[in-house]
Structure 1
Amino acid sequence: MSQPLSGHLLRGHHRDWQVLPAEGRDHISGRIKAGRSRPGVTRFDPRCFLDEEDVLIELALLGVERIAPVYRLGPDGTRVHGFIEGVPLSALRPPGSPLTGGELDQLTALFGELARIPPVAMALVHRCPVPGRPRTSRDFLRGLVAFTRRRVYARHGRPLAGLFQTLGVDPDVLSVTSPLTREAARMTNRPFCLLHGDLHRDNLIVAEQDGQLWTIDWELAMVGDPLYDLATHLHLMDYPERQQQAMTLRWAGAVEERLPGAAEGLPRDLPRYLAYKRVQSVFTDVIRQAVAVREAPAGQLAERLATAGTMVSRALHRAERPLGLGRVPSPGVVEGVYAAFSAGTPMPPAPPRAKPEPAKARRAAPAPPSAAAGRAAPAATRRAARATASPRERSGSG
């Protein structure tokens, strides 16, 4: 996600960007942007590639369209991106609003393009150690839960254990015996392909040049289960319910055409990935907002406390069921929790936890499709789409 700072500066989660004219460079048309890593930024998602530029170059070689070109400048070959002139889709279609049919068509085509890129096509730039790479969808989800447990909570959230406890969040939701992890063992295995990993309204640019959607911010791209890319997209896009259902059906048809088997088990497994994404967002937002509040200048503390209240309460609301919350604290209550955290005073008691669901209810799931969802089970796919509908909220993890 990129947010304007001032003038020709842009701030992303992981890098700051300077937008510059390409004067005197005949091989470049338009402006360019040069990135600089932001030191000390906490990463909440696994990464398969060291540099976004590596991904963009490979995509260009594979014929993927409407992505930023990469150029080398100067004697040291510094790599910069072509700047896509336009506005983020979020500026025209705010979260919760529907997209046009043409915009849905373009997103569907993008998912189809990604489905045709197998892991071997990215082998030269894939940096994850080969022995540790997941081979099945089951291992893929287990690995995601383990990453959030070890690399997010254990490294950055454990010092905030009191904050999580006060908000009613039990870190054991990420344990190896948790329902999230147990559900991973029930996943249908699907063939892997390239994933964008962070496809939301701020990472889609409506270009001035042609009015088409251009895709930016490939830093969280990875190789894995294509259904995870759909779950991440639905979680971040905040579609109206009917359009979420339509996008799920479109996705199933597009990926099955390019990668047979990619939509197998969709009705059962999409809710599993969405449960993980909602839990992951809680850990991400609790930690990010704690850092923002802790580092707030005195004049900005009230504003950051209000933001923390809104963001964390919404994330908790979306993850209410997988977290087993009995009552979700309101934005005002969460703001009070963060105010006490900031002041170092005792925090209010945690909300009550929900009673465990009966084992039979926990095992209940939509009936699996009789064949790949994209070609023979549209009714089952529609049931899955309805089951994944969620309250309006956009909580990023990238």
Structure 2
Amino acid sequence: MSGGDANVVEGPLKGYHHETYVIPMPGTEGDGEDDEEAEPVRVKCRAPRDRLLWFDRRCFASEEELVGLLQGRISRIPALIHVGDMPMQRFVEGHTLGSRHGAGRRVPEPALHQILHLFGELAAIAPGSLEADRRCLPRDRAEDGDCAGFLEGLVRFAEERVYQADLESFEALFAVLGIDEDSFRSLRKHVVVPGLAARPFHLLHADLHRENLILDHRGDLWTIDWELAMFGDPLYDLATHLHLMAYPADQRERVIRRWARVVREKAGPRATDGWQDDLPKLLDFKRAQSAFTDVIRATRILDTGGTFNWRRWPTEAAKVQRVLARAAAPLGLKDVPGLRTVAVSLREWHRRNGARTP
């Protein structure tokens, strides 16, 4: 989102993974339709945030390389500008969709139409059609169409890289909240064991939420932050999108139906095989994944350099309690902890660990 003088450095703009600085490029201007619309070209420079935890798989070695390869295949994606030998993404001037239409609110039809168009463009990009360097090991990649194997890989990543990797710090907190190793056995039984239909893989953005969609001054919708992109089950991209967007119920149902139609048109009828049965499983996975990630994020938000953030405490406790309630079925939680239990457990975690947090 732009703001202030376009000729000065802006930032840091904080996201979860990065702090972003927006830098004007001297002697350049945008491609507005007339001189009044032309704007200085700005690029974004990002640095990973301190104490960063990755809660999602990253499959491509370079976001900039991927964005470069997608030019001309995705309608509105940041252009690449080379500063010396370094490729940098052009900063999209505008406002996030979330700043105009926040979570839970209805998305205007023109923007919604562009979101569905994006899903169609993604559906047309098959694994063999994009030669980008990958960071994920071949043994961790499910075979094309193996949607159950793809989902098992996501569950395994959450178990090994989110839960087990942070167990030393968070085991006691997880236990109070009802989460332990049995939670993953329940999750697999709930979402993987029943099986999923075979759908041909295509490119997924995997993080399509309101803050990654930018409306420019013409109302055109641009898609940013491609670093979680991967090849996989097309239905997973829809499930992630629905989980993050929190559409009103009636608009959510229309999005699902329109997604099925546009993906079939672009990728063929098999691309949506079994979606009615499998979408609830993928949504349950997203709810379970949030139970782990949001607990850890809450501890980070409440710890400000060893000082407990009393102001954010009620909000974060309520958020964690809601997430646990939504994830109760896939995680096999027999008793969802109440708000007081959650709040006290977060405060106790900080008392034991906050002052020692690096």
The structural deviation recorded for 1:177 is 8.2
> Contact 2:104–2:247 (CA<8 Å) still a contact in 1?
yes
* Change over 3 Å in CA distance of 1:7–1:329 after alignment to 2: farther
1:336 corresponds to 2:344 = yes
The structural deviation recorded for 1:296 is 4.3
SS in structure 2 of the partner of residue 252 of structure 1: helix
1:198 corresponds to 2:244 = no
From 272, 295, 301, give the equivalent of 1:292: 301
1:166 corresponds to 2:166 = no
Distance in 1 (CA, whole Å) between partners of 2:324 and 2:186 is: 22
The structural deviation recorded for 1:263 is 0.7
From 1, 6, 14, give the equivalent of 2:17: 14
The structural deviation recorded for 1:123 is 3.0
> Contact 1:200–1:233 (CA<8 Å) still a contact in 2?
yes
* Change over 3 Å in CA distance of 1:339–1:237 after alignment to 2: same
Instruction: Write out aligned runs for 1:198-237 (5 A).
Output: 198-208=207-217, 210-237=218-245
Aligned to 2:70: 59
* Change over 3 Å in CA distance of 1:149–1:180 after alignment to 2: farther
Distance in 1 (CA, whole Å) between partners of 2:335 and 2:133 is: 46
The structural deviation recorded for 1:328 is 3.2
> Contact 1:35–1:80 (CA<8 Å) still a contact in 2?
no
Gaps of 5+ in 1: 346-398
Aligned to 2:37: none
Q: TM-score under structure 1 normalisation? A: 0.79
1:264 corresponds to 2:273 = yes
Aligned to 2:60: 49
The structural deviation recorded for 1:25 is 4.4
Distance in 1 (CA, whole Å) between partners of 2:2 and 2:219 is: 21
Distance in 1 (CA, whole Å) between partners of 2:185 and 2:321 is: 23
1:32 corresponds to 2:35 = no
SS in structure 2 of the partner of residue 55 of structure 1: helix
> Contact 2:76–2:222 (CA<8 Å) still a contact in 1?
yes
> Contact 1:93–1:99 (CA<8 Å) still a contact in 2?
yes
> Contact 2:119–2:262 (CA<8 Å) still a contact in 1?
yes
Distance in 1 (CA, whole Å) between partners of 2:245 and 2:286 is: 13
State the Cα deviation string for residues 55-94 of structure 1 (Å, max 9, x = none): 111110x4311111111103xx122211111111111111
Aligned to 1:247: 255
> Contact 2:287–2:323 (CA<8 Å) still a contact in 1?
yes
SS in structure 1 of the partner of residue 198 of structure 2: coil
SS in structure 2 of the partner of residue 143 of structure 1: helix
Instruction: Write out aligned runs for 1:35-184 (5 A).
Output: 35-60=46-71, 62-74=72-84, 77-135=85-143, 136-175=146-185, 178-180=188-190, 182-183=192-193
> Contact 1:98–1:243 (CA<8 Å) still a contact in 2?
yes
Supply the AA of the counterpart residue of 1:145: V
Larger mean Cα displacement after TM superposition, 109-118 or 51-60: 51-60
> Contact 1:31–1:83 (CA<8 Å) still a contact in 2?
yes
SS in structure 1 of the partner of residue 44 of structure 2: strand
1:321 corresponds to 2:326 = no
> Contact 1:95–1:239 (CA<8 Å) still a contact in 2?
yes
Supply the AA of the counterpart residue of 2:49: R
1:283 corresponds to 2:299 = no
From 192, 195, 201, give the equivalent of 1:186: 195
SS in structure 1 of the partner of residue 47 of structure 2: strand
SS in structure 2 of the partner of residue 48 of structure 1: coil
Supply the AA of the counterpart residue of 2:212: N
Distance in 2 (CA, whole Å) between partners of 1:115 and 1:288 is: 32
State the Cα deviation string for residues 324-374 of structure 1 (Å, max 9, x = none): 3344334443222111222239xxxxxxxxxxxxxxxxxxxxxxxxxxxxx
> Contact 1:204–1:216 (CA<8 Å) still a contact in 2?
yes
> Contact 2:124–2:266 (CA<8 Å) still a contact in 1?
yes
Distance in 2 (CA, whole Å) between partners of 1:244 and 1:27 is: 36
Larger mean Cα displacement after TM superposition, 287-296 or 156-165: 287-296
Supply the AA of the counterpart residue of 1:338: L
Supply the AA of the counterpart residue of 1:16: E
Supply the AA of the counterpart residue of 2:97: L
The structural deviation recorded for 1:181 is 5.6
Report the aligned-residue RMSD. 2.4
Gaps of 5+ in 2: 4-8, 32-39, 354-358
State the Cα deviation string for residues 33-54 of structure 1 (Å, max 9, x = none): 1112234411111111122111
SS in structure 2 of the partner of residue 270 of structure 1: helix
